[in-house]
A and B are shown apart, each in its own frame.
Chain A
Amino acid sequence: MAWTHSQTPPVKGHLPVLLPLRSMPQGLPLQDRLFNVWTASILVLALAAALITPAFAQDATPGRSAFAILLEWTPTLAKGFGFNVLISILSMAIGTVLGVGLGILQVSPLRPVRQVAWVITQFFRNSPWLVLLFYCILLIPFQIEVFGTKIPFPGWVKAVIGLSLPVMAYMSEYMRGAILSIPTGQWESAESLGFSRGQTLREIILPQTIKRVLPSWMNLYAVLTMATPLVSIVGVNDVMALTRAALSAEGRVDLLIPMYLYILCWFFLYCYPISALTRWLERKYSVKL
C-alpha cells in the first residue's frame, strides 16, 4: 500500500498523472482491501512487466530493445489514446443528452409518444455497436450544406455519432427506470401544489433521478471507452490504428504482444478507477436509499 508517485513505476512511460490520486479509505472489508485500485493496478503493471521483460531478453535481432521502441512510440500512441478519450467524452455527452430526452419521452402521458420512444430505445439498445458505426459512416454524408455554409463530417465525427446512439438507448432505459422508481406521492404532492407536469419533472423528479442513475451512467462510460477501439475498424486513427501502424513500421513480430499489452494497460488505468468509483457510489447509495 506504500505506493507513492515518487517511486519509479514498473513500466516507464506510465505517467503518474494517469494513476488514481486518492488512496482508498482505511478499514474496508478484506476483499475490498485486496482488490482496491492500488493493488489491482500494481498487479496488472507487474504482469505487463513480466511479459515485456522476456521480450528484451529474447531480443536476438540486433538494434533497439523492445522497451526502447515502446518508449519511442509512446508520444504517438498517447495522442491516439487521447483521441479515444475525446471520442468517448463526446459520444457520452451527446448520448446522455439524447438519452435523457428519450427516457423522459418513454414516460410521456401520451401513448403514441411513449411507444415511439420505446421502439427507438429498444432498437438501438439491441444493435451491435460496430454495425451502428458502419451505418453512420456509410449513411452520413461527408459534408452537409446549411444555408450555403458547408459543415464537414469527417470520419471521427461520424464515429462519435455512431457511438452516441447506443449510449442514448442505454441512458433512455436508465432514465425510464429511475423516473418510474420515484414514489407516485412525489408527483401527487407536486400536482396538488400546482406544479405542471414539466415543472414537476424539472424541479422534483429529475433531480432525484440523478443519484439513482449516476452509477449506471459511469459504468456505461467505462464500457463506452473500452469500445472506442472499434472506430479503428471504420478508419479513424485512434490508438488501435496507430498501434497497428507502429507495428507494421517496425516490422517486428516480437513487438506484437508487448505493444498491445501496453495499450491494454492504458485502458485499464483509465477505466478501472471509474468502475471502482462506480462501485463505491453504488454501495454508498444502496445504504442510503
Chain B
Amino acid sequence: MSWTEDQPIVSLKDVHKSFGEVKVLRGVSMDIQKGEVICIIGPSGSGKSTLIRCINALNDIQSGSITVEGIEVSDPKLDKLALRKKVGMVFQQYNLFPHRTVLQNVMMAPIKVLGQNKAEVEQRARDLIRKVRLEGKEDAYPGELSGGQQQRVAIARSLAMSPDVMLFDEVTAALDPETVKEVLNTIKDLAADGMTCILVTHEMGFAREIADCVYFTDRGVIVESGPPATFFDQATDPRTREFLSQVL
C-alpha cells in the first residue's frame, strides 16, 4: 500500500455519508493529483462542507473509500495523527485560539503535537507569518485583527504542520469584501508553490482563474466537473446552468 506521486494524492470512491436519516453524500467519487487545485461549488446544503470534512476524518463515512497518500481514511484503525500531518484545514470562521498570540497560534501544533524543537518552529512560524504578509502582527491577539488577517493566520497555522494537502471551506464567506482579496492572494501564492488545494468557494472569478478542475455538487452528488474554461462556458447539466446563472 505504498503511495507514489503518480497516483492521486486524494481519492474518493463512491462515498456515502448520512446524518441519521439525512443522506448528505450519495456516491461521490473524485481523484486529485498532487499539486492540483480543485474548486467545489454548489448550492448551500449540497454537502460541500461534509465532503471536505470527510477527507480529514472530522466526519466519518458510511460506505465507500477515501484515501490520502494511500492512507485509508475510513479504516477504523486509522492513525488520525498520521492523516492530519498530511492534511491541513482552514475554516470559514477562522477558529484561531483567542487566548494565544498570532505567533503562538502558529507554533502550538508543531511543538505540542509533533514535539518539534521550539527554536526551529519559531523560525518557521515567523517565515510563514511573513509569507501570509502579516509581519509585525506576531504578538497581536486574534481579537485585535481583522477577519482577513485572522484567516491568513489560520492559513499560516495550518501550513506550520507542513501538510501536503490543504482543505479550504468557504474561507472568504465571512469576510468583508475588501479583505477577501488578501486571503485569495495568499491561497494563490500557495497554489503557485505547488500545494495541493481543495477549495469550497463561492468566488467564481477566483475559481475560474485558479482551479485546474471545478466540481459542481447538488444534493450529495457531483453533477458535473471539468476544467474551468469548459465548465463555466459550456456546462451541460441544467442544474449546473441554473446555479451558474444565479451566481455569475
List residues of chain A with CB under 8 Å of any chain B CB: 183, 185-186, 188-195, 199, 203-204, 207-208
Contacts and interface: CB of A to CB of B under 8 A. Distances in A.
A199 B109 CA distance: 10
Interface of B: 56, 58, 80-81, 84-85, 87-89, 91, 93, 95-99, 108-109, 112-114, 154, 157-158, 161
B169 to A, nearest CB: 10
B113 A189 contact: no
A191 B93 contact: no
Nearest to B92: A185
Contact of A188 (B80, B85, B91, B113): B91
B84 A208 contact: no
Contact of B88 (A186, A191, A192): A192
A193 B84 contact: yes
Given A193-B161, A194-B85, A194-B161, A188 B95 contact: yes
Contact of A195 (B58, B85, B95, B109): B109
Given A189-B96, A207-B99, A208-B98, 17 more contacts: A183-B95, A185-B95, A186-B97, A188-B91, A189-B89, A189-B91, A189-B154, A192-B56, A192-B84, A192-B88, A192-B89, A192-B158, A193-B84, A193-B109, A193-B158, A194-B109, A195-B112
Contacts of B95: 183, 185-186, 188-189
Nearest to A186: B95
Contact of B113 (A185, A199, A207, A208): A199
A207 B141 CA distance: 15
A188 B90 CA distance: 10
B93 A185 contact: yes
A79 to B, nearest CB: 42
B113 A193 contact: yes
9 contacts: A186-B97, A189-B96, A192-B87, A192-B89, A193-B109, A193-B113, A194-B81, A194-B114, A194-B161
B99 A208 contact: yes
A183 B95 CA distance: 9
A69 to B, nearest CB: 54
Contacts of A207: 99
Nearest to A182: B98
B91 A199 contact: no
Nearest to A193: B109
Contacts of A185: 91, 93, 95
